[in-house]
Amino acid sequence: MSKICAITGKKPMVGNNVSHSNRKTKRKFYPNLQTKKFFVPETGEYITLKVSAKALRTINKKGISAVLSEAKKKGNILV
């Protein structure tokens, strides 16, 4: 699987490693992704999502069903 958050759509960013002598080489900044299982009470089943730490906080605040419906509208999730 790719390193993309299923809820927020966060992807790796590109930047530079900068040495002491100020030489620059390319690097990637990866999002803090966690693989989690969530219980959806409306359907009565578990789903597994790869979500960022920020998405986990959003799920705790709004609830999984509200967050899933928003992600479907944005097109981030294909469930």
Q: Could you tell me the domains of the chain? A: 13-74 (2.30.170.40)
Phi-psi map region of 50: left, alpha, beta (phi>0 left; psi -120 to 50 alpha): beta
Which residues, in sequence order, are bridge partners of residue 38? Answer: 47
Of the pLDDT bands very low, low, confident and very high (cuts 50, 70, 90), residue 77 is confident
| pLDDT of 78 above 80 | no
What is the predicted pLDDT for the residue at 75?
83
What is the predicted pLDDT for the residue at 76?
78
pLDDT digits (tens, 9 = 90+) for 4-46: 999 999 999 999 999 999 999 999 999 999 999 999 999 999 9
Q: What is the 3-state secondary structure (H, E, C) of the chain?
A: CCCCCCCCCCCCEEEEEECCCCCEEEEEECCCEEEEEEEECCCCEEEEEEEEHHHHHHHHHHCHHHHHHHHHHHCCCCC
Of the pLDDT bands very low, low, confident and very high (cuts 50, 70, 90), residue 79 is low
